[in-house]
Amino acid sequence: MDLRQLQQFVVLAETGNFHRAAERLHMAQPPLSISIRKLEAELGTPLFVRTTRGVRLTQAGEAALNDARRALFHADQARAAAVSAAHGERGALRIGFVGSATYALLPKLIPAFRDTHPGIELILHESTSASILDRIERGQLDAGLVRFPILSSGPFSLLPLESDTFVAAVPADSAFAQQTGIALKTLANEPFIMHPSADVPNLQAVAMLMCQQAGFVPRIAQEAVQVQTIVSLVESGLGVALVPGVTARYTNRRVRFLRITSPRPAARIGIALATQQDTDDRHVQQFIAAARQIAAQIPAPARL
């Protein structure tokens, strides 16, 4: 397989339709169909179930999708690193990021920054918001994409980039799955999967506050640090969860994402760029400018 086939696979999985996928890829539909079939033959298993209305992922396709996205992401990093080495501009930025930043913000921000500043090496570290802020304070990171609101104070500045609200993630075979919206109190008797307070205190605190505003204290059956892991645990039937609305952009067919109809108004969460307070580092300032520009281009999460 090659990167072109992986990109075609990912786009087809996201659109669920050969015609729409071909349009997004700026190619004709027949060559796309042939390429996908060649990829399936190479892997020895179907990746899609074809129907009269479009396509849906097989179990093998769902298993391969996240790794395909990661492969494309790291390929972009490798390509950009090679370009940087060929230019005279020198420097490096150490950037921390939370896992959910990879849904929309990070895949646009990193290539855009490297295109305009190819000589600046970006050293990326995936971690939790608490750890990223601590490492910025210690001077071990230059900037970080973190979840807000932030519950602690420190010598850092925050630039909000992406605004969001929580949605309820429920298994596709649950009694709630056919709804588009749900009152949070309806889930009061369900086991919850939540972030641990020690590792992700901000999101955990906001989720707990929402439940308490709805009139109950959630029964936490399992904890997980990464949003992707929480969604996988919901898929496994271990419980329900509150996750950022941006998660619903990448549909998991065995999980449903429901708009929270009450309590209202919905608590605002999002992603912010954290940097050392009053930094005058030229490369950091360039990264801040790029982040502002990309954030203005990212649409708000669609209402479910």
The CATH number of residue 20's host domain is: 1.10.10.10
Is 133 inside any structural domain? yes
**Residue 16 falls in which region: left (phi positive, over 0), alpha (psi -120 to 50) or beta:** left
Which residue in 249, 260, 238, 262 sits closest to 179, CA to CA? 260
The Cα diameter of the chain in Å comes to 60
- Summarised one tens digit per residue, pLDDT across range 146-165 is 988 887 778 889 999 988 89
Which of 18, 52, 67 marks a domain boundary? 67
> In DSSP terms, which residues pair with 51 in a beta bridge?
54
Residue 152 lies in a domain: yes
Mean pLDDT of 205-225: 94
Do 202 and 246 belong together in one domain? yes
Mean pLDDT for the stretch of residues 213-227: 94
Mean pLDDT of all residues in 105-124: 89
> Do the Cβ atoms of 115 and 121 come closer than 8 Å?
no
Residue 302, in any domain of the structure: no
Residue 150 shares a structural domain with residue 280: yes
The amino acid occupying position 160 is: P
Regarding whether 251 and 169 lie in a shared domain, the answer is yes
The pLDDT value recorded for residue 102 is 83
Output the domain CATH number for residue 89.
3.40.190.10
Q: Please state whether the peptide bond connecting residue 118 to the residue before it is cis, i.e. omega within 30 degrees of 0.
A: no
Lowest mean pLDDT among 32-36, 229-233, 275-279, 298-302: 298-302
pLDDT higher than 50, residue 222: yes
Domain boundary among 41, 67, 93: 67
Q: For residue 52, what pLDDT band results from cuts at 50, 70 and 90?
A: confident
- Check whether residue 199 and residue 244 sit in a common domain: yes
Helices (H), the chain: 3-15, 18-25, 29-43, 59-85, 105-116, 129-137, 201-213, 227-235, 282-297
86 and 36 in a common domain: no
In a domain, 303, yes or no: no
Residue 41: DSSP 8-state:
H
Residue with tokens 């108004």, as numbered in its chain: 265
Position 145, amino acid = L
Question: Where residue 90 falls among pLDDT bands split at 50, 70, 90?
Answer: low
CA torsion sign for 123, 125, 129, 133 is negative
Mean pLDDT, the chain, rounded, equals: 88
pLDDT confidence of residue 268: 83
Same domain, 106 and 243: no
Residue at which a domain ends, from 45, 67, 89: 67
Q: Let me know if residue 304 belongs to a domain.
A: no
Task: Give a yes or no: residue 189 inside a domain.
Answer: yes
Share of the chain above pLDDT 70, in %: 93
Hey, what amino acid is at 241? A
On whether both 57 and 83 belong to a single domain, the answer is no
Quick: pLDDT tens for 240-281.
999 998 888 766 688 999 999 999 877 788 899 999 988 888
What pLDDT shows up at residue 81? 65
Question: Is 103 or 128 the better-scoring residue by pLDDT?
Answer: 128
Residues 112, 23, 35: CA angle, nearest 5 degrees: 95
Residues 151 and 280 in one domain: yes
175 occurs within a structural domain: yes
DSSP single-letter state for residue 211: H
Q: Tell me the residue range of the domain where 37 lies.
A: 3-67
Q: Six-digit token pair at 274?
A: 């954290």
What percent of the chain has pLDDT above 90?
59
Lowest mean pLDDT among 22-31, 85-94, 286-295: 85-94
pLDDT of amino acid 89: 59
| Structural domain count of the chain | 3
Residue 86 Ramachandran class (φ > 0 left, ψ -120 to 50 alpha, else beta): alpha
58 and 73 in a single domain? The answer is no
pLDDT at 85 over 60: no
88 has pLDDT over 50? no
Angstrom distances, CA of residue 43 to CA of 6, 22, 32, 46, 258: 12, 22, 17, 8, 35
Q: Is residue 48 part of a domain?
A: yes
- If asked whether residues 27 and 171 sit together in one domain, one would say no
What is the mean predicted confidence (pLDDT) over 194-218?
91
